[in-house]
Chain A
Amino acid sequence: MSHHFDLIIIGAGPAGLAAAIYASRAAIKTLVIDESSAGGQVKTTHQVANYPGFIEPVSGHQLASNMKKQAEKYGTKFELAAEITDLNLVGAEKWVKADGETYTAKQIIISTGSSPRLLNVPGEKEFKGGGISYCATCDGEFYTGKDIVVVGGGNSAMEESLLLLQFVNSITVIHQFDALQAEKVTAEKMIQNPKVNILWSHEPRGFEKNGERMIITAENLKTKEMVTIERDGVFIFVGMLPNVDALKNTPLEFSKYGYIVTNENMETNIEGVYAAGDVRDKKYRQIATAVGDGTVASLEVIRKM
C-alpha cells in the first residue's frame, strides 16, 4: 500500500524531530520513519546538562520523549521500529519502503544519526552480553572484583574506564596507538592508576571463551606478533559510525569517513534530499547542533514548498 506525504524524515533523533516540528507547524504533511524508536542517542543519555532551556539536567529519555510529543502535537506521523527495505532518492517523486508499505514524498530529510562502532572481529557478536559489553554504567557491576579488558583510548573509553574502576580488580586497555587520545586529565588518571595496564599499539583480532572467561587475541601493530590474554570480560568503546547502510546504493555524496556531504542549507548533492544531525559531515556533533541542522533543513523544505 502506498502513502503520500509532503516530507519524509528518515531518523527520529533530535535533528529529525526538530525538522518534524518545524515542518508540521508549517502545515507540511510529514512522516518520520525510524528503524528504532524516537529519540536517537539522546534517549539513552542519562542526564543532559548542556541543552539550553533546562536549569537542572534533564534525562535524555525525557527530552527525547518531549520532542516526539511536540512533533505529534503539530501533526507529524510516525512509523517507528520499521525496517527500511528499499528507497529511491532520485527524481521528483521519492519513495521509501518499510515493513511492506511504500511511502512517497517530494522532499526527504535524512537524519539517521550515528551508532557505536563495532570491532567486527570473530566472537564479538556471539559474546555480546555474555562477556562483551558496550556500557560501563549498565554492565560494570557484573564484573565486580574481576579483571577486564577495555578496547579503545578515546574520551569515551577512558571515561567509561574510570567508572569501571569502581567495580573491577584490574583493567587492561588495548589501544591501537602509542598514546591515549582522551583529554589529558582523563588520560593521566588512567595511566597513573595502579589497577590499569595498557597494551599500546595493539588491536583485538578475535574473542573466544574458556568457561566463564574471555580469551582475547590481539595483534601488535608494530611487530605483527599475536598475543593472547585471558580476562573475565571485555568492554568496547571505539567511536561512532554514521548510520548509512540503507543509503549505500544511492547516488548520495559521502565524505571519506562515510558521512553525508551537505552545504550550509543541509542540501545534499541530490535535489530535494537533505541531511541533518550526526549523519552529516561536520565538526561538532551535539544535541544542539543536531537540532540546528534539522531546523535549517526543514526551513529550506518549507521555503521551497
Chain B
Amino acid sequence: MLQTNLEHVTSKEHLQQIIESNEKVAVCCGRMGPMCIPVYEVFEVFGEKYPDIKFMDMEFDNPEAAVIRSLPECSTFRGLPFTVYYRNGKVVKATTSIQNAKQIKEVIEEVLS
C-alpha cells in the first residue's frame, strides 16, 4: 500500500469508474521510491491548487496496475513512476520517471487546462 494522502486506484474497474465520472484525472503509478515520492507529494499539493482535477496514485506492483503498465503510451517506459493524464475518459498524456512541480504544471497546462 502506498503511504500517501492521495486516493488510491485499486483496480481496473475503479480506474474506469473514476475516469468516467471525472473530466480530468491524473494517476501516478509507482512505488514508495525516490523517483515516485516527489511526484505523489506534488500531486497532494496540486489537489488543492487544481480542484477540477482528480489526482490519484496506484501501486505499481498491484497486478491490477496492468491497466496503466500495458497502455500503449507507456510501452517504452523504463523509469518509475508512470504518470498518466486522462481527459474525458481518454489518455491525453503519459510521462515516465520523476517530474518536478514545474514539469507537472506544464503538462497540466498543456492537456488539462
Contact = CB atoms under 8 A, between A and B. Distances in A.
Contacts of B34: 44-46, 135, 137-138
Interface residues of B, number: 29
B37 A80 contact: no
Interface residues of A, number: 31
B41 A37 contact: yes
Contacts of A80: 41, 45
A38 B5 CA distance: 14
Contacts of A129: 77-79, 95-97
A130 B76 contact: yes
Contacts, number: 93
Interface stretch (B18-26, B84-92, B99-107): B99-107
Interface string B57-97: 00000000000000000001111100000000000000111
A212 B98 CA distance: 20
17 contacts: A35-B100, A37-B38, A37-B41, A37-B44, A37-B101, A44-B37, A81-B49, A81-B105, A83-B101, A83-B102, A129-B78, A129-B79, A129-B95, A131-B78, A133-B79, A133-B97, A139-B35
A128 interface: yes
Interface of B: 3, 30-38, 41-42, 44-46, 49, 76-80, 95-98, 100-102, 105
Interface of A: 35-39, 43-46, 59, 61-62, 80-83, 128-135, 137-139, 142-143, 212, 233
B76 A36 contact: no
A130 B77 CA distance: 5
Contacts of A83: 101-102, 105
Given A37-B44, A81-B45, A128-B97, A137 B33 contact: yes
B86 to A, nearest CB: 19
Nearest to A142: B78
A121 B49 CA distance: 34
B31 A44 contact: no
B40 to A, nearest CB: 8
Nearest to A38: B41
A128 B83 CA distance: 14
